[in-house]
Structure 1
Amino acid sequence: MKRLTVADLVDKFSLKVLTGEDQLHKTITQSRAHRPGLEFVGHFDFFPTERVQILGRKEINYLHKLTNDERSVRIGNIVHYHPPCFIVTAGEEGLTYLTHYCKEEGIPLLVANTVETTSEFVIMLDAFLLKNLAPEISIHGVCLNVFGVGILLRGQSGVGKSEIAHTLIGRGHRLVSDDLVVLKKLSPRTLLGTHDEKTKEFLALRSIGLLNVVRMYGRKVFQDETRISLDIHLTKWQKDALNNELEHEPSFTEYMGVKVPSIEIQLQPGRDVAGLIEAAANNWYLRQSGYSAAEEFMRRIEADFARNENE
C-alpha cells in the first residue's frame, strides 16, 4: 500500500504546525479527507478514523460556542481515535483548547494559511491524496497528449516510438513521458499517465541522443500527466496482415483492471504513422460523441438501396 506522511502535506500546502512537530512522520493511507460533524455530537458508527480531519469555519464556530466541559467531551471523543492529523482552515485564533488536546494525544494540529474556502481546500487536498496514493505500475512505452487525448504508445524496443513522438511534438502535440510511463489508477475507469521525475521532459532518439524537449521547443510541448484514453500498439509490417473492414471490432488493453481502447498500427517506410495517430485521436473524440463513420456510411448505402427499390 502506498503511503504519504503528514510532513508531505505540510510541504505541499505550506501548512503551519501548531503542535505535533515530532509526529509529522505519521502515515496517511486514505485518499479522502473528512470534515467531522456528527462525530461532535457523539455519532461514531461511520467515523473514518484513518482520514485527515478538516476543521473549517463551521466546525470551529461550533466548538467556540460550547462550554469548556462540552468542548472537553466533544474534542476528547474525536482525538481518542488518533486520526493522522487535524487541519484547520479558519485561522489559528482561539485554538488553545484544541492545541491542548492534540498535544496530549500526540496528534499534529496544522493550520492552512490559504485564501480558498474550506470546500475548495478539501477538493485540492483530495486531488493530491488521490494522485499520490493511487495504485500504480510502470510500463515501457511513450505517453503523449494528442488533440487533448491521452495516448499510450507501445511496441518492441527500437520500433520507433520515440521518433514518432518527436514528429508529433513537431506537429504541436505534447510529450508526457518517454521510455518509462507511470500509470496511476484513479478510479475503476480512470487511468492517469505520467513520468517518474527522472525522465521528465527527456526524449531519447537513436543516433541523436537524449533531448530536453522543453529546452529545445518550449514549455508548450510538455505536460506532466494525462488521462489515458487510447492504447496504440506499434508493430512491424506484415504483408497481407492488414484488412479493410469498415470498422474493426473494439479491442481493449487492461491495466490494473482499467480497460483502455486499443488499436494496432503497422509500421512501414513512408507510412505517415504520426498522421494515423492524429486520426485515431480525432476518431476517438467522435466515438465519444456517439458518431461512427461506418454506421453513417451503411445508412447511406441502405437509403440508396431503398430508393432504387422504389423506382
Structure 2
Amino acid sequence: MKTVTVQDLLNRFSMEVLAGHGQLQRMISKPKTHRPGLEFVGYFDFFSHAHVQVLGRKEINYLHTLSEEERNLRIGNVVKYHPPCFVVTRNQEGLKYLKKYCEEEGIPLLRTPEPTYKFVDLMDTYLAKALAAEIAIHGVCVNVSGIGILLRGKSGVGKSETAHTLIHRGHRLVADDIVVLRKISSETIVGTHNGKTKEFLALRSVGLVNVSRLYGRRAFQDETRIVLDIELTKWEDHRLNNELELEQKFTEYMDVRIPHIEIQLQPGRDVAGLIEAAANNWYLRQQGYSAVEDFMKRLEHE
C-alpha cells in the first residue's frame, strides 16, 4: 500500500507547523481530506479518522463559541482517534487549545493561508495522485490534440518514431519506453513518465533526443489521462479491416477498461495521421456523433 508522510505535505504545500514537530513522519494512506464538523458535535458514525483533517472557518468558529470545558471535551473526543494530522486554513488564530491537545497526543497541527475550498481541492488532487495504484508498462504515451493515447507494440515496431512524427505535427510527448500508469479513480487512468526518462525520446539510427530542447516546451507534457490504447502491429493482408465500423475492443489496466485499436504498419502508410484520426473520432463519439449513423441516414434519405 502506498503512503505519504506529513513531511511530504509540507514539502508540497505552503504550511507552518504549530504542534507535533517531532511527528512529521506520520503516514497518510487515505486519499481525500475530511472536515470533522459532525464529529465535533458528537456524531462519530463513519468518522474518516485516517484521513487528513481540515479545519476551516466553520469548525474553528464553532469551537470558539464553546465553553472551555465543552471545547476540551469536543476536541478530546476527536484527537483520541489519532488522525495523521490537522490542517487549519486561512491562517486562523486562537488555536492554543488545539496546540495543547495535538502536542499531548503527538499529532501534527499545520496551518495554511489558503482558503478552505481551494486547499481541500489541491490536497485531494495531490493525495489522489500520490496514493494511486500504479503499474509500469513498455510503450509510449502521447497527448494528441488534448487526448491521451498509449502506444504499444513489439520492440522495434516504430512506436518512438511514430511519436516523433506526432510531436513534429504539434502534439506532445508524455513518456517513452517506460510508461507509468496510475489509477486515479474507478474510471480514470493517468499516464506519466518515471522521472528518469522525462522529455527524452529514443530514436533508432538517431539516438536519444530531448524533445523540449529540440522542439520547445510545448512538445512535452508531464501527464495525461489515457483514453485510447493503440497497438502497432506488422501488416497482415488477411487481417485488413474494411468494415464501416469496427467492433469496439478494450484493454484493461488495473480493472479500468480503455478503448483499444490496432493499427497495422506498412511502408508509406501514414500511421501518425491514422492516430490523429482515431483521436478525433473518439472525441466526436464522446459528443454523441457517429459517422456510420450519419452515413446510413444519408442512404436512407436517398
TM-score bracket relative to the smaller structure: over 0.9
Aligned residue number for residue 88 of structure 1: 88
Q: In the aligned structure 1, how far is the partner of 2:238 from the partner of 2:294?
A: 27
Q: Partners of 2:229 and 2:17 in 1: how far apart?
A: 44
Secondary structure at the aligned position of 1:179 is classed as: strand
What corresponds to 2:168 in structure 1?
170
- For 2:139, the equivalent position in structure 1 comes to 141
| Residues 197-208 of structure 1 aligned to structure 2 (within 5 Å) | 197-208=195-206
Deviation by residue 1:83-119 (Cα, 9 ceiling, x = unmatched) = 00000003152111110100000000001133xx201
Identify the range of structure 1 (167-176 vs 292-301) with the bigger mean alpha-carbon deviation: 292-301
Q: Which residue of 1 aligns with 2:12?
A: 12
Partner of 2:214: 216
For the residues of structure 2 that align with 1:302 and 1:50, how far apart are their CA atoms? Answer: 60
- What is the aligned partner in structure 2 of residue 282 from structure 1? 280
Report the equivalent of 1:309: none
The structural deviation recorded for 1:302 is 2.3
CA–CA distance in structure 1, aligned partners of residues 149 and 81 of structure 2: 44
Deviation at 1:14?
A: 2.2
> 1:251 and 1:243 mapped to 2: Cα distance?
14
Report the counterpart of residue 293 of structure 1 in structure 2: 291
Shift >4 Å, 4+ stretches: none
The aligned runs of 1:62-81 (5 Å cut-off) are 62-81=62-81
Q: Deviations over 1:185-204 (max 9, x none)?
A: 11111111111111111111
Q: Does the CA-based 8 Å contact 1:79-1:101 persist in structure 2?
A: yes
Whether the aligned pair in 2 keeps the contact of 1:89 and 1:112 (CA below 8 Å) is yes
Count of aligned pairs: 302
TM-score (norm 2): 0.98
* Alignment pair present for 1:235 and 2:224: no
Give yes or no for the alignment of 1:36 onto 2:15: no
Task: Give the aligned partner of residue 25 of structure 1.
Answer: 25
Match of 1:59? 59
Paired residues of 1:152 and 1:232 also in contact (CA < 8 A): yes
| Alpha-carbon distance in 1 for matches of 2:97, 2:241 | 74
Instruction: State the shift of 1:10 in Å.
Output: 0.8
The equivalences for 1:89-168 within 5 A come to 89-114=89-114, 117-168=115-166
Moved more, 239-248 or 45-54: 239-248
1:123-166 residue CA offsets vs partner (Å, 9 max, x unmatched) = 11000000111111111000011011100000001101001101
| Whole-Å separation in 1 of the counterparts to 2:294 and 2:106 | 66
How far apart, CA to CA, are the structure 2 residues paired with 1:298 and 1:181?
A: 40
Aligned residue for 1:307? none
Give the structure-1-normalised TM-score.
0.95
Question: What is the aligned partner in structure 2 of residue 192 from structure 1?
Answer: 190
Residue 256 (str. 1) matches residue 254 (str. 2): yes
Q: Secondary structure at the match of 2:239?
A: coil
Amino acid of the structure 1 residue aligned with 2:33: A
Quick one: distance in 1 between partners of 2:251 and 2:46?
Answer: 37
SS of structure 2 residue aligned to 1:240: helix
Quick one: which amino acid aligns to residue 193 of structure 1?
A: G
Q: Do the aligned residues in 2 keep the contact of 1:24 with 1:108 (CA within 8 Å)?
A: yes
- The structural deviation recorded for 1:261 is 0.5
Describe the superposition over 1:206-260 as per-residue Cα deviations: whole angstroms up to 9, x where unpaired.
Answer: 1111111111111111111111110000001112320211010100001111100
Deviation (angstroms), 1:71? 1.1
Name the aligned partner's letter for residue 204 of structure 2.
R
Give the gaps of 5 or more residues in structure 1.
305-311
- The one-letter code matched in structure 2 to 1:103 is E
Aligned-partner residue type, residue 122 of structure 2:
M
Whole-angstrom CA distance in 2 between matches of 1:104 and 1:243? 70
1:271 aligns with 2:269: yes
Secondary structure of the residue aligned to 2:195 is coil
What is the alpha-carbon distance in structure 2 between the residues aligned to residue 208 and residue 3 of structure 1? Answer: 40
Task: Classify the secondary structure of the residue corresponding to 1:168.
Answer: helix
